[in-house]
Each structure stands twice: as structure tokens, then as C-alpha cells.
Amino acid sequence: MADQPSFDRMWDELGPVGRSAATGGYRRFAWTRTDHDLREWFAGQAAARGLSLVPDRAGNQWAWWGEPSSGRPGLAIGSHLDSVPDGGAFDGPLGVVSSFAAVDDLRQQGFQPRRPIGIVNFGDEEGARFGIACAGSRLITGALAADRARALSDADGTSMAAAMRASGLDPDSVGADREALDRIDCFVELHVEQGRGLVELGRPVAVGSQIWPHGRWRIELPGEANHAGTTRLADRRDPMLAYARLILAAREAAERRDSVATMGKVTVFPNGVNAIPSQVTAWLDARGPDAEQVLAVVAELHALTGEAGGSLLQESWTEATAFDPGLADRVRAVLPDAPVLSTGAGHDAGILANAGIPSAMLFVRNPSGVSHSPAEHAERSDCHAGVRALTSVVAGLAG
């Protein structure tokens, strides 16, 4: 089998890119120098295999073995290379590296695909810089309007349009890309599991069944800047108090409604040790198996925000995504011993599925269940098992 040396070589090459020496985590953000290096790595892997590199209107990269057309769409595999702040090595890159390794393995076996096979690197999947998860796949499917995307800005005030332009992509050309979507007959995304389901089952690989409904909201809490030493407590308008109440309320509401809610990002102005803040901006991430319950959690926080004189605005929302039953049956037929798991994490596969493209997912065991952290991990033997599973799926779907 070619998967082991091929996978190991690519994994070792990619490992240093964007890694923080201080934390060991990764800071691979969209439309940055690190992102450029990752894209160059992807392009180099495509060139080394003689694959045709085709970017789409959002800057996502597609490396094709065979030429897809409207009458001959292909099987797409892959994932993303960007990360959350100080994220782990596996979330995203495992799927991309495994896809190249699967193609290597198929070629070593002398496999001749009956349809084109494409490997994709979706851009800005995590939304770490501009706040919208799966921006690359949302853009080409039309789930994210081009004008809204161009106007998004990062913490330094740089717009997505300006960042794209600085990276060589014309932001005026960004938008829904029917031509790119017409090249895809179906999509299979391999990803590290972001929980402990496979650990508890004692299995290295699973087939995904669905993605929970999930969304992000921005909360604005006004206050009054004042001196920390001379302002009596009774005279203060401190928005941090409202923020603290919201954190506790989010946890309590999520527990009552079998959901999860996280407030992991906040900006405080003027952010001084000896100054009462005049403004707090915070972000809420809420998810769960039942959309009605998730939105009920958000409604409770919306009411509390209003009582504090603030606002709660939706930035993104994705309904529950059940993967295509027909494709899922075909994947399970190739991997009959693999368990079936749902996930609370959003993925590009979910965006494509919601756009009507049959999609499926494979999950590789994460022994700690920790993700979006430097502690995220998968044993090398399980990574190889994932490559073998993906290779079998691709052979079954494209042979």
C-alpha cells in the first residue's frame, strides 16, 4: 500500500507551516502569508501528480485527475487547510493530505477512474479571521452573498475584499460559481473526529450521518467609559456585568435544552486595566441536535441582551444537515464495519449538501476527543486506516 509513506511525507512537510513556537498550535488564517504558503503547498502537490489545478470564484483550489464537464461531473474529495486561533494540526489538513495519499494509492494499484476525481482545498473554512465559517464553500454555493463577504473585516479593520486583493484574488470576481459546482457529482470529506465517539466504540474510522444545526451571533453591549478608581459602583454603566450574566445564562439555557453554547470571543473597548469599558462586543456559538431548542437558547439570550440595552445579531445559521442517503448507503457498502456517527461540528460537506450536492463524511478517531486545540490528535496508524478507508470509498464511487 502506498498510503503510509505518501501520507507521512506530506504530513511532515505540512507540519511546520503556521505553527506557533510558543503554543504549538496553528494560526493558519485566510488570505495571509501563511495561507499563501499553504496554497502553494497544495498547488505543488497537484503539480507533482500531474493534476489540473483549477481555482473557483471564491479562491478554493481544485486539483483534478481527469477533466470534469457538465456531462461528466466528477467525484470530489478533500477538506481545508486553515485553522482556528492556536488550533490543532488535524482539523482540515488530515482530509487534504489523506486525499492526495488516496490518489497515490489508487495509482500504485493501477486504478483507472471511470469519472474524474478532484481534490479540493476549501478556503476560510474556520472563519477565524472574518467571522463566517465555511466562507469558501458558502460563497460558491450562494449561501454567502458576495457583497456581504467583501465587506467583512478582521480585528485590524482589514476587509475581506482588501485581503483577497492583496493575495492576488480579484474580489470583484468573487461569488456563486455554478460552473464549479457542475463539475461535482458528489463529495466525500474525511475529517478527524471532534469528539470521543470512536474512542468509546474502539474503532478507527466512522461514516458521518448528519451535522447538527448551528450558528453564530454577534452581541453588542453598550456602557459608559469612566475611571476605575473614582467612579462609585452605583454610578457605573459597566457592560462587562451584562457580558458575565450572558455567559452564565448561555450555559444554563444550553443545559436545559440539550444543546451547547459558547462565548469564546470578546472585544472590549477601550480595554484598559483602569478604565470602565464603554463597549463590549461578544460572539455566541450555539448548536445542538434539535434546531428549535438551539434557537430557544438564543431567544433567551436575545431577551437578556435587550434588557441590558444591547443587540444580538445573527451572523450565520445552518439547519441540520443529513447527508445524502443514497451516497451514504454506497459508502457504508464499501465500509460495512464502520460505525455511523453524527457531529456537532460544521463542515464544507454540509454546505455542499445543503446546496443539493450529494455529500458524505468519514471520521478518523481522535483519542482525546479534544479539537480546536494544540492537543488535537490522531494516531498515525489511525490516519493510515483513514487513508485506506478513503481509498476504498473512492475506488467504489469512481471505479
5 pLDDT band (50/70/90 cuts)?
A: confident
**Average pLDDT, rounded, for the chain:** 96
Q: What is the mean pLDDT of residues 389-397?
A: 98
At residue 318, the pLDDT reads: 87
Buried b (16+ CB within 10 A) or exposed e, 240-272: eebbeebbebbeebbeebebbbebebeebeeee
| Residues 240 and 248 sit within 8 Å (Cβ to Cβ) | no
pLDDT at 369 over 70: yes
Cβ neighbours for 257, distance < 8 A, ≥ 6 positions apart? 288, 290, 293, 294, 296, 297
Integer Cα distance of 138 and 317 in angstroms: 11
- Characterize 135-173 residue by residue with b for buried, 16 or more Cβ atoms within 10 angstroms of its Cβ, and e for exposed: bbbbbbbebbebeebbebebeeeebbbebbeebebebee
pLDDT at 2 over 70: no
Rg (C-alpha) for the chain, rounded Å, is 22
77-102 pLDDT, tens digit per residue, is 999 999 999 999 999 999 999 999 99
Q: What are phi and psi of 383, to 5 degrees?
A: -60, -45
For residues 216 and 267, give the distance between their C-alpha atoms in angstroms, rounded to a whole number.
16
Name the band, by pLDDT with cuts 50, 70 and 90, for residue 3: low
Write out pLDDT tens, residues 105-136: 999 999 999 999 999 999 999 999 999 999 99
Q: Mean per-residue pLDDT for 44-65?
A: 98
Q: What is the pLDDT of residue 163?
A: 98
Number of Cβ within a 10 Å radius of residue 114: 11
Residue pLDDT, tens place only, 277-317 = 999 999 999 999 999 999 999 999 999 999 999 999 999 89
Model confidence at 4, in pLDDT bands (50, 70, 90)? confident
**φ and ψ at residue 53, rounded to 5 degrees:** -90, 120
Look up residue 190 and give its amino acid: L
How far apart are alpha carbons 246 and 277 in whole angstroms? 17
The C-alpha cell of 90 is what?
Answer: 488535524
Supply the pLDDT for residue 46: 98
Residue 323 DSSP symbol: P
What number is the average pLDDT over the span 242-246? 98
247/113 Cα distance (integer angstroms): 52
**pLDDT computed for residue 182 by the predictor:** 96
Q: Determine the 3-state secondary structure of 187 from DSSP.
A: strand
Strands 359-364 and 184-192: parallel
Quick one: pLDDT at residue 1?
A: 47
- What's the average model confidence in pLDDT over 354-378? 96
Query: Are 335 and 389 within 8 A, CB to CB?
Result: yes
Other CB atoms within 10 Å distance of the CB of residue 381: 11
Region of poorest pLDDT, from 30-34, 40-44, 45-49, 68-72? 68-72
| DSSP state string for 170-186 | -GGG-S--HHHHHTEEE
Alpha helices in the chain (DSSP H): 3-14, 33-48, 93-108, 135-141, 146-151, 160-166, 178-182, 197-201, 239-256, 291-307, 325-334, 348-354, 380-398
Residue 7 has pLDDT above 90, yes or no: yes
Banded pLDDT at 147 (limits 50, 70, 90):
very high
Q: What is the grid cell recorded at 232?
A: 462609585
- Torsion sign (Cα): 226, 231, 237, 240: positive
